[in-house]
Protein backbone atom coordinates (compact mmCIF):
# COMPACT_ATOMS: atom_id res chain seq x y z
CA UNK A 1 0.00 0.00 0.00
CA UNK A 2 1.22 3.49 -0.81
CA UNK A 3 2.22 5.79 2.04
CA UNK A 4 0.51 8.77 0.37
CA UNK A 5 -2.35 8.76 -2.13
CA UNK A 6 -4.08 11.65 -3.88
CA UNK A 7 -7.18 10.56 -5.76
CA UNK A 8 -8.81 12.99 -8.22
CA UNK A 9 -7.76 15.91 -6.02
CA UNK A 10 -8.82 19.46 -6.87
CA UNK A 11 -7.99 22.53 -4.79
CA UNK A 12 -9.67 25.86 -5.51
CA UNK A 13 -8.84 29.10 -3.69
CA UNK A 14 -11.08 32.18 -3.69
CA UNK A 15 -9.45 35.32 -5.06
CA UNK A 16 -11.73 38.33 -4.71
CA UNK A 17 -14.77 37.63 -6.86
CA UNK A 18 -12.93 34.91 -8.76
CA UNK A 19 -11.49 31.49 -8.07
CA UNK A 20 -8.02 30.07 -8.66
CA UNK A 21 -7.74 26.38 -9.48
CA UNK A 22 -4.38 25.49 -7.92
CA UNK A 23 -4.67 21.73 -8.49
CA UNK A 24 -7.11 19.96 -10.81
CA UNK A 25 -8.04 16.26 -10.82
CA UNK A 26 -4.63 15.11 -9.60
CA UNK A 27 -3.88 11.42 -9.03
CA UNK A 28 -0.59 10.64 -7.30
CA UNK A 29 0.84 7.82 -5.18
CA UNK A 30 4.04 8.06 -3.13
CA UNK A 31 5.50 5.00 -1.45
CA UNK A 32 7.44 4.64 1.78
CA UNK A 33 11.20 5.40 1.64
CA UNK A 34 10.90 7.53 -1.51
CA UNK A 35 13.09 10.58 -2.14
CA UNK A 36 10.75 12.51 -4.41
CA UNK A 37 10.55 16.08 -5.66
CA UNK A 38 7.43 17.86 -6.87
CA UNK A 39 8.89 20.10 -9.56
CA UNK A 40 7.50 22.87 -11.68
CA UNK A 41 7.47 26.63 -12.21
CA UNK A 42 5.84 29.09 -9.85
CA UNK A 43 2.08 28.57 -9.91
CA UNK A 44 2.33 24.94 -10.99
CA UNK A 45 0.63 23.68 -7.83
CA UNK A 46 3.60 21.98 -6.18
CA UNK A 47 3.38 23.85 -2.86
CA UNK A 48 -0.37 23.30 -2.78
CA UNK A 49 0.15 19.56 -3.19
CA UNK A 50 2.75 19.60 -0.40
CA UNK A 51 0.31 21.47 1.87
CA UNK A 52 -2.42 18.95 1.09
CA UNK A 53 -0.12 16.03 1.91
CA UNK A 54 0.97 17.84 5.08
CA UNK A 55 -2.60 18.36 6.30
CA UNK A 56 -2.05 22.13 6.24
CA UNK A 57 -4.90 22.39 3.76
CA UNK A 58 -7.80 20.24 2.64
CA UNK A 59 -8.91 19.43 -0.90
CA UNK A 60 -11.93 21.07 -2.46
CA UNK A 61 -12.76 17.66 -3.90
CA UNK A 62 -11.11 14.26 -4.07
CA UNK A 63 -9.28 12.45 -1.29
CA UNK A 64 -5.84 12.68 0.32
CA UNK A 65 -4.82 9.53 2.17
CA UNK A 66 -1.80 9.12 4.43
CA UNK A 67 -1.03 5.70 5.89
CA UNK A 68 -4.51 4.60 4.83
CA UNK A 69 -6.23 7.50 6.60
CA UNK A 70 -8.42 9.95 4.68
CA UNK A 71 -7.01 13.13 6.19
CA UNK A 72 -9.53 15.32 4.39
CA UNK A 73 -12.33 13.77 6.42
CA UNK A 74 -10.70 14.57 9.78
CA UNK A 75 -11.58 17.34 12.22
CA UNK A 76 -9.24 20.29 12.67
CA UNK A 77 -8.12 18.94 16.05
CA UNK A 78 -7.55 15.44 14.68
CA UNK A 79 -5.55 16.86 11.77
CA UNK A 80 -3.35 18.89 14.13
CA UNK A 81 -2.62 15.79 16.20
CA UNK A 82 -1.97 13.72 13.06
CA UNK A 83 0.45 16.38 11.75
CA UNK A 84 2.24 16.48 15.09
CA UNK A 85 2.88 12.74 15.16
CA UNK A 86 3.19 11.74 11.52
CA UNK A 87 4.64 14.63 9.49
CA UNK A 88 7.91 16.56 9.69
CA UNK A 89 8.27 19.92 7.94
CA UNK A 90 11.31 21.74 6.56
CA UNK A 91 10.64 25.25 5.24
CA UNK A 92 12.75 27.50 3.03
CA UNK A 93 12.67 30.23 5.72
CA UNK A 94 13.66 27.68 8.41
CA UNK A 95 10.77 28.81 10.71
CA UNK A 96 12.91 28.62 13.84
CA UNK A 97 11.71 30.48 16.94
CA UNK A 98 14.20 33.36 17.51
CA UNK A 99 14.01 33.39 21.32
CA UNK A 100 14.72 29.66 21.64
CA UNK A 101 18.11 27.97 21.42
CA UNK A 102 18.92 25.56 18.62
CA UNK A 103 18.30 22.62 20.97
CA UNK A 104 14.98 24.05 22.17
CA UNK A 105 13.87 24.60 18.57
CA UNK A 106 14.75 21.03 17.64
CA UNK A 107 12.93 19.73 20.73
CA UNK A 108 9.79 21.72 20.05
CA UNK A 109 7.71 18.97 18.41
CA UNK A 110 8.72 16.49 21.11
CA UNK A 111 7.74 19.02 23.77
CA UNK A 112 4.29 19.40 22.18
CA UNK A 113 3.99 15.61 22.27
CA UNK A 114 4.69 15.61 26.00
CA UNK A 115 8.03 13.80 25.80
CA UNK A 116 10.03 14.27 29.05
CA UNK A 117 12.89 16.78 28.97
CA UNK A 118 15.65 14.22 29.58
CA UNK A 119 14.50 12.09 26.66
CA UNK A 120 14.05 15.15 24.41
CA UNK A 121 17.56 16.34 25.15
CA UNK A 122 19.09 12.90 24.60
CA UNK A 123 17.38 12.49 21.25
CA UNK A 124 18.19 15.98 19.97
CA UNK A 125 21.84 15.80 21.01
CA UNK A 126 22.16 12.54 19.06
CA UNK A 127 20.54 14.19 16.02
CA UNK A 128 22.87 17.21 16.27
CA UNK A 129 25.83 14.82 16.27
CA UNK A 130 24.44 13.00 13.23
CA UNK A 131 23.75 16.26 11.39
CA UNK A 132 27.15 17.78 12.06
CA UNK A 133 25.98 20.60 14.34
CA UNK A 134 27.04 19.23 17.74
CA UNK A 135 28.23 22.07 19.97
CA UNK A 136 25.66 24.55 18.63
CA UNK A 137 22.86 23.50 21.00
CA UNK A 138 22.89 26.72 23.04
CA UNK A 139 23.05 29.17 20.14
CA UNK A 140 20.03 31.21 19.08
CA UNK A 141 19.00 31.12 15.40
CA UNK A 142 20.46 34.58 14.70
CA UNK A 143 23.87 33.26 15.77
CA UNK A 144 23.78 30.44 13.22
CA UNK A 145 24.53 30.44 9.50
CA UNK A 146 21.75 29.64 7.02
CA UNK A 147 23.05 26.11 6.57
CA UNK A 148 23.24 25.56 10.33
CA UNK A 149 19.69 26.88 10.78
CA UNK A 150 18.42 24.53 8.10
CA UNK A 151 20.15 21.59 9.82
CA UNK A 152 18.41 22.53 13.06
CA UNK A 153 15.16 22.52 11.07
CA UNK A 154 16.02 19.04 9.77
CA UNK A 155 16.66 17.88 13.35
CA UNK A 156 13.28 19.26 14.41
CA UNK A 157 11.58 17.47 11.50
CA UNK A 158 13.30 14.17 12.32
CA UNK A 159 12.98 14.27 16.10
CA UNK A 160 9.52 12.70 16.32
CA UNK A 161 10.30 9.93 13.80
CA UNK A 162 7.56 11.04 11.37
CA UNK A 163 6.18 8.88 8.58
CA UNK A 164 7.23 11.50 6.02
CA UNK A 165 9.31 14.68 5.94
CA UNK A 166 8.01 17.43 3.65
CA UNK A 167 10.48 20.07 2.47
CA UNK A 168 9.24 23.21 0.72
CA UNK A 169 12.05 24.82 -1.32
CA UNK A 170 14.58 23.83 1.39
CA UNK A 171 17.62 25.19 -0.49
CA UNK A 172 16.13 28.51 -1.58
CA UNK A 173 18.14 30.62 0.89
CA UNK A 174 21.38 28.63 0.71
CA UNK A 175 24.45 28.96 -1.48
CA UNK A 176 25.09 26.07 -3.87
CA UNK A 177 27.78 24.35 -1.73
CA UNK A 178 25.70 24.53 1.46
CA UNK A 179 22.66 23.32 -0.49
CA UNK A 180 24.61 20.39 -1.89
CA UNK A 181 25.85 19.41 1.58
CA UNK A 182 22.29 19.56 2.96
CA UNK A 183 20.89 17.48 0.10
CA UNK A 184 23.64 14.90 0.52
CA UNK A 185 22.79 14.74 4.21
CA UNK A 186 19.07 14.23 3.59
CA UNK A 187 19.76 11.62 0.93
CA UNK A 188 21.97 9.74 3.40
CA UNK A 189 19.22 9.87 6.02
CA UNK A 190 16.76 8.57 3.43
CA UNK A 191 19.03 5.64 2.55
CA UNK A 192 20.26 4.71 6.02
CA UNK A 193 17.09 5.30 8.03
CA UNK A 194 14.47 4.70 5.30
CA UNK A 195 12.96 8.14 5.99
CA UNK A 196 10.53 9.26 3.28
CA UNK A 197 11.24 12.73 1.86
CA UNK A 198 8.97 14.74 -0.44
CA UNK A 199 10.26 18.09 -1.70
CA UNK A 200 8.66 20.91 -3.63
CA UNK A 201 11.19 22.82 -5.69
CA UNK A 202 12.06 24.38 -9.02
CA UNK A 203 15.78 24.27 -8.14
CA UNK A 204 17.70 22.08 -10.66
CA UNK A 205 20.07 21.08 -7.86
CA UNK A 206 17.24 19.60 -5.79
CA UNK A 207 15.68 17.97 -8.85
CA UNK A 208 19.04 16.40 -9.72
CA UNK A 209 19.31 14.79 -6.27
CA UNK A 210 15.83 13.25 -6.30
CA UNK A 211 15.20 9.65 -7.25
CA UNK A 212 11.71 10.46 -8.54
CA UNK A 213 10.67 13.69 -10.24
CA UNK A 214 6.95 14.51 -10.41
CA UNK A 215 6.51 17.54 -12.67
CA UNK A 216 3.42 19.71 -12.35
CA UNK A 217 2.16 22.46 -14.61
CA UNK A 218 -0.96 24.57 -14.07
CA UNK A 219 -2.19 22.17 -11.40
CA UNK A 220 -1.91 19.08 -13.60
CA UNK A 221 0.54 16.19 -13.68
CA UNK A 222 2.91 16.81 -16.58
CA UNK A 223 5.34 13.90 -16.11
CA UNK A 224 6.45 11.34 -13.53
CA UNK A 225 9.94 9.89 -13.92
CA UNK A 226 12.42 7.85 -11.89
CA UNK A 227 16.10 8.79 -12.06
CA UNK A 228 19.03 6.41 -11.70
CA UNK A 229 20.99 6.95 -8.49
pLDDT tens across 23-36, in order? Answer: 999 999 999 999 99
CB atoms within 10 A of CB 112: 13
Residue 57 included in any domain: no
Residue 13 included in any domain: no
Global pTM value? 0.92
Buried b (16+ CB within 10 A) or exposed e, 126-144: ebbebbebeebbebebeeb
Range of the domain at 82: 34-51+76-226
Residue 145 included in any domain: yes
| Residues 70, 6: Cα–Cα separation, whole Å | 10
CATH number (domain holding residue 85): 3.40.50.300
Average pLDDT over residues 63-87: 88
Buried b (16+ CB within 10 A) or exposed e, 179-207: bebbbebbbebbeeeebbbbbbbbbeebb
The H-or-E segment that residue 27 falls in is strand 18-30
| Residues 157, 143: Cα–Cα separation, whole Å | 20
Strands 196-201 and 164-168, sheet pairing? parallel
Q: Quote the mean pLDDT of the chain.
A: 92
Residue 98 included in any domain: yes
Residue 16 included in any domain: no
pLDDT reported for residue 71: 85
Residue 115 included in any domain: yes
Residues 133 and 148: beta-carbon distance below 8 Å: yes
Count structural domains, the chain. 1
Q: pLDDT tens-digit profile of 189-204?
A: 999 989 999 999 999 9
Average pLDDT over residues 112-136: 94
> Does residue 158 surpass a pLDDT of 80?
yes
Q: pLDDT tens-digit profile of 207-229?
A: 999 999 999 999 999 999 998 76
CB atoms within 10 A of CB 17: 5
Q: What percent of the chain has pLDDT over 90?
A: 75
Average pLDDT over residues 51-74: 90
Residue 71 included in any domain: no
Residue 11 included in any domain: no
| Residues 69, 121: Cα–Cα separation, whole Å | 31
pLDDT reported for residue 229: 64
Calculate helix-pair angle for 117-130, 146-159, nearest 10 degrees.
130
Amino acid sequence: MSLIELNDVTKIYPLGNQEVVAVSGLDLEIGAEEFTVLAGPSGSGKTTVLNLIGCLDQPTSGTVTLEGRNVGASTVKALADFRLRKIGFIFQSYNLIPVLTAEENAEFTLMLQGVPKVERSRKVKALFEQLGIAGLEDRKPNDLSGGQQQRVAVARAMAADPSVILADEPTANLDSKTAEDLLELMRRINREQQTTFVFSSHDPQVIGFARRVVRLRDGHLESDEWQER
